[in-house]
Structure 1
């Protein structure tokens, strides 16, 4: 697929996806929204891509909705049209969570509004020391809860801290984000690219099925009704993983102290 506002580079089983509107701080316009939905919505368990690394071109990760573009064409929309537009944006986050591939985000500079949601919908977040994230919606005359942010944030940092930022629209600076566990590591863009590659390499040492089922189980466990429910899911996943040739290869590689050679499914 040809993209206008995304740059997609495939390195083996890793897809590097760069939001590429640097002159607009990678703000989301209808074309970029459609391209993000198209990319993440097309990922399947049998896709050759096994890990996705998401980043922004230039000095920002993503400034959220392109308000200039919206003001020129979207502000006059009626309820039905606005609801359709709203669904198009939120569908990106749903697609990111539903795709079997782990998503690593490198958050550089600002991640506001929808850009904050993109970071939160990722499985792992790395951030530059100048990164700052906020739910800017409430500062624009909207509710502070939008496109999945009010789902993700309390589960990551707790209800009180989430309320602090959703009710005010304040920025979460990089050091606070690290202290809260919202990001895994801080560094320069170069250091974070190296770390993202290392994370992807480690993930690729897992079997394709094992990696996919781990992401799936982590997502379900957050909302599971009990410890027993989570353990039942884990039991199912482990038994499923033992049934293919990859499990035998993983055990053999571990015992022989070599890199495993897994199949593609």
Structure 2
């Protein structure tokens, strides 16, 4: 399994792949390139015997701030319908690749976990948070639909229809305590653990 990736960090040790985004100074936003590379990496993971499980980890005190405002959100407003459709397919394909990779994925959420970052945590099999974790599905705040990347299908299965609607419609942050009480997080632990 490849660890020579360009747009995120990856190491494999004793069958555990630890993956994290690598722009801590910006709270680890995703770019077009990191989306594509993560999608391809998770697709390839299905065929790997070297990896038994994946930990999607925070970096620099944050999980991910979602799509990069300068690299993704701004350019989306100038894209043609064909380009928008290609981008939407790519982001959805990342979620599909995660769900179908055949390995358990644990999201270790610390600090900011927003937009596409929240989707990555949602698409994981288990979610563990620090008390500082704040998770927000912010799509409607940047002019996108709340159903992006499968959120309207997957999130209600985890926390229920009413709570999912609240987070998706309002774009408000869910605290670690709320996420734990609602069943989004499997556990809340101190960051040092």
| Fold similarity call, TM over 0.5 | yes
Q: Pick one of 43, 50, 70 that aligns with 2:45.
A: 43
Deviations 1:25-72 (A, max 9, x none): 111101111221121010125522010111121121011111111255
Name the CA distance, whole Å, in 1 between partners of 2:87 and 2:136.
Answer: 21
Q: Which residue of 2 aligns with 1:63?
A: 65
DSSP-derived class of the 2:30 partner? coil
- C-alpha distance in 1 between matches for 2:143 and 2:20: 30
Residue 35 of structure 2 is aligned with which of 33, 36, 40? 33
Contact 2:46 2:100 in 1 (8 A): no
Query: Structure 1: where are the runs of 5+ without partners?
Result: 192-265
Residue 187 of structure 1 is matched in structure 2 by 189
Please give the alpha-carbon distance, in whole angstroms, between the structure 1 residues aligned to 2:48 and 2:121.
25
Structure 1 partner of 2:117: 115
Q: Equivalent residue for 2:14?
A: 12
CA–CA distance in 2 between the matches of 1:136 and 1:71?
Answer: 12
RMSD of equivalent CA atoms: 1.4
SS at match of 1:111: strand
- Specify the SS of the correspondent of 1:15: strand
How many residue pairs end up in the alignment?
Answer: 191
The separation in 1 between residues aligned to 2:48 and 2:42, in whole angstroms, is: 14
| Larger of the two Rg values belongs to structure | 1
| Preserved contact between residue 5 and residue 21 of structure 1 (Cα < 8 Å) | no
Kindly indicate whether structure 1 or structure 2 has the higher relative contact order, using CA contacts under 8 Å at least 6 residues apart.
2
- Show structure 1 runs of 4+ deviating over 4 A: none
- 2:162 & 2:102 partners in 1: Cα distance? 31
Q: Which residue of 2 aligns with 1:91?
A: 93
Name the structure where helix makes up a greater proportion of residues: 1
